[in-house]
Amino acid sequence: MEQPLSLPADTSQNEPADRISFRSRLLRWGIVLFVAAAILLIPVPTGITPQSWRLLAIFAATITGSIVRPIPGAAVVLLGVTALPVFRVLTINEALTGYADPVVWLVLAAFFISRGMIKTGLGRRIAFLFIKAIGRHSLGLSYALGSTEMVLATVIPSTGARSGGIIFPIAKSLAEAYESRPGPTARRLGAFLMASVYQCNVIVCAMFLTGQASNPIIARFAQEVTGIEITYARWAIAAIVPALLSLLLVPWLLYRVFPPEIRHTPAASELASNELNMMGRMKWSEWLMLLVFGLVAILWMTSKLHGIDYAAVALVGISVLLITGVLDWEDLISERSAWSVFIWYGGLIRMAEALGQTGITKRFAEASASLTTGWTWWLALASLLLIYFYAHYVFASITAHVTAMYVPFLIVILAAGTPSYLAVLSLAYFSNLGASLTHYGTTPAPIYFGAGYTTQRTWWWLGLITSLVTIAIWSLVGFMWWKLLRLW
């Protein structure tokens, strides 16, 4: 057996900037402008002000731009925010208030915490400890990497940082340690490992409020429509049972339908031991990072007891890392993905909030209620959830899916008589789980698929099979669990 390879240093892999032709860019801008013009040409409904109707046009054009991406999504949102005062929809002060929202700063600070996790090497150490413990079998490797992702997701919302910077390099080197590379040897280990670890990533995204960057915006949308506050603890407690069951069953299912040729992987445990030996004892920076990591997670889980806002907790964690030198200012200002998320998050939150105050969403709810007239609420819920889930085939990110469809579907489901918590939670979790379907469903998807171990047809086939399992688990076990929690 070949000696295990030394694992590469982890680096955050961010989605590359769009490289599209001038003709393609013009076409995409044409789609964006067409959406805005189509809305503006419709007569303003009675009871809706022209100002509100212009807001709808700008919001729809911004969402469309985030999907077709003539320029990066954050830049599209910045243009939308700029259009608000230019077209006299909001004043400049009102347009920029989204960037003062605590949720926006929560996500920004959590990205910085992920930077500390990667810089200190603590994330890699956690992964190696799991691999050393349960990595002597190929299925165990999947569980070890999935468990690492689950631990990191309690604080780190950046799937690019978690999967691209920590999990993926380890998974790839584990496959190569067994001479499994793209091509004839892909099925030895790498193909199974890439597919399984990615599907675990999607489940973990749904598991925590910090599972991925769009989850806080889902919570904000839910609160604006229903008044229900999905706290960090409530999100995690409601997800814990179906998520853990999914993390157990999905890798096992893929192991059965798409088995690796190599079943036993004792060298992986040896590799982890060697890497841990080379890392040596935990450095002072790692201990500090672990302390901040644990402190932030505990304070988020117990927010009802101490009353400190989530964002303030995250900023305290960042302050400690800066004061102790674990992070420096250059680390923060060079975290490009964090600042990109900050721009689109603040803009989208403000536009969505302003749109909710216009009465347009209420009018939409009244008109949509007729679509499910005569249906029992559970039949309407089941049908609409399936449509919502599989609509992710046409979205290249969870963010685009959520911003375009979460509020309209939530309104229609509520209009059918579905209990509020059931509607809010099921849509929230399905928003994440739908990313399992394709090789572009969320940021880590092109990273794992791009490793070249599987064909697109195989990736989509495995995604479809996985979706049937996760839908069943979260709809049956999840609903029963929420019933026991008296959420509906």
How confident is the model at residue 368, as a pLDDT?
Answer: 61
| Each residue's pLDDT tens digit, 114-141 | 788 888 888 889 888 988 888 889 999 9
CB atoms within 10 A of CB 239: 26
Asked, for residue 16, whether it belongs to a domain, the answer is no
Which is nearest to 208 in space by CA: 144, 145, 301?
301
Q: Is the pLDDT of residue 275 over 70?
A: yes
**Position 450 confidence tier, pLDDT thresholds 50, 70, 90:** confident
Q: What's the CA gap between 381 and 417, in Å, rounded?
A: 9
| Each residue's pLDDT tens digit, 137-176 | 999 999 999 999 999 888 877 787 787 778 888 888 888 8
Contact 399, 340 (CB under 8 A): no
Between helix 284-301 and helix 310-323 the angle, nearest 10°, is 170
| Each residue's pLDDT tens digit, 31-88 | 999 999 999 999 988 888 899 899 999 988 988 887 788 988 889 989 999 999 999 9
CB atoms within 10 A of CB 353: 15
Asked, for residue 31, whether it belongs to a domain, the answer is no
What SS3 class is residue 328? coil
Specify the DSSP class assigned to residue 212: S
For residue 279, CA distances in Å to 120, 274, 276, 431 come to: 11, 9, 5, 38
Which is nearest to 442 in space by CA: 151, 234, 204?
204
- Domain of 145, in residue numbers: 72-484
Contact 429, 385 (CB under 8 A): no
| Each residue's pLDDT tens digit, 307-365 | 888 788 889 999 999 999 999 999 999 888 788 878 887 888 788 778 877 877 667 66
How confident is the model at residue 353, as a pLDDT?
Answer: 78
How confident is the model at residue 4, as a pLDDT?
Answer: 38
Q: Is the pLDDT of residue 304 over 90?
A: no
Contact 177, 5 (CB under 8 A): yes
Cα-Cα-Cα-Cα dihedral sign, residues 189, 446, 441, 231: positive
How confident is the model at residue 16, as a pLDDT?
Answer: 43
Cα-Cα-Cα-Cα dihedral sign, residues 482, 415, 350, 101: negative
Asked, for residue 22, whether it belongs to a domain, the answer is no
Q: What's the CA gap between 480 and 286, in Å, rounded?
A: 40
**Number of independent structural domains in the chain:** 1
Contact 13, 160 (CB under 8 A): yes
Asked, for residue 18, whether it belongs to a domain, the answer is no
Asked, for residue 156, whether it belongs to a domain, the answer is yes
How confident is the model at residue 432, as a pLDDT?
Answer: 95
Which is nearest to 435 in space by CA: 408, 470, 403?
470
Asked, for residue 21, whether it belongs to a domain, the answer is no
What SS3 class is residue 137? strand
Q: What's the CA gap between 347 and 81, in Å, rounded?
A: 6
**Percent share of the chain, pLDDT over 90:** 40
Prediction pTM value: 0.78
Q: Is the pLDDT of residue 245 over 90?
A: yes
Q: Is the pLDDT of residue 298 over 50?
A: yes
Asked, for residue 412, whether it belongs to a domain, the answer is yes
> What's the mean pLDDT when you consider all of the chain?
86
**Position 369 confidence tier, pLDDT thresholds 50, 70, 90:** low
Asked, for residue 209, whether it belongs to a domain, the answer is yes
How confident is the model at residue 425, as a pLDDT?
Answer: 96
